[in-house]
Amino acid sequence: MGDQLQQRGQQWLENFLKLAGLSTTVSAEVRENPFGKSCWLTIDHATLQPHQIDILVGDRGAGLDAIQYLANSALNLGLSQEEQGAVTIELNGYRERRQQELAAIAQTASDRVRETGEEYEIKSLSSAERRQIHSLLQDQPDLETFSRGQEPHRNLVVRFAHPSDQS
């Protein structure tokens, strides 16, 4: 993941926002986080009105998720697996705050399973957030995670890796 993705991503997102009637700038940087390396495209919120920020973020980040999905699809289209890179869209610190919240949710779930021995179901997560919780808990050898149900009522379940061995 190099400067080319950062430059293309920045240009793509600024054009996207301009087409949406929003004149603002975008900064780009590669970041390492608990979920891997990605190109973070940060929308400058200083030139936006509060209601514009609310619309772009959307309900529980759904707006940012949709823009991020489009950006990843458009920027990786036609590229080989080695050339592809992940893009994260950030606005007004939303993604950073949500990552901290997800880490706390994962910790609470793992603590509860270890205390009670019962599975713990986490509701109201987007598919991207479920993947992040899966990633956060994948290195816990005594726990496993999986999704249950159908969208929009799909939930993440955390339980002992071998439930029958825990009784």
Domain check: are 53 and 13 in the same one?
yes
Question: Which of 71, 92, 113 lies at the terminal end of a domain, its last residue?
Answer: 92
Cα 57 from chain centre: 13
Domain check: are 112 and 155 in the same one?
yes
> pLDDT at position 71, please?
96
Domain check: are 142 and 69 in the same one?
no
The number of folded domains in the chain is 2
Q: Tens digit of pLDDT for each residue in 36-88?
A: 678 999 999 999 999 999 999 999 899 999 999 999 999 999 988 888 889 99
Confidence of residue 34 (pLDDT cuts 50, 70, 90): low
User: For residue 159, what is the domain's CATH number?
Assistant: 3.30.1370.50
Question: Quick one: which of 3, 1, 17 has its CA closest to 89?
Answer: 17
pTM of the entire structure? 0.79
Domain check: are 87 and 104 in the same one?
no
Residue numbers of the domain that contains 88: 3-92
Instruction: Give the chain's mean pLDDT.
Output: 90
Q: Tens digit of pLDDT for each residue in 99-142?
A: 899 999 999 999 999 999 999 999 988 888 898 899 899 999 99
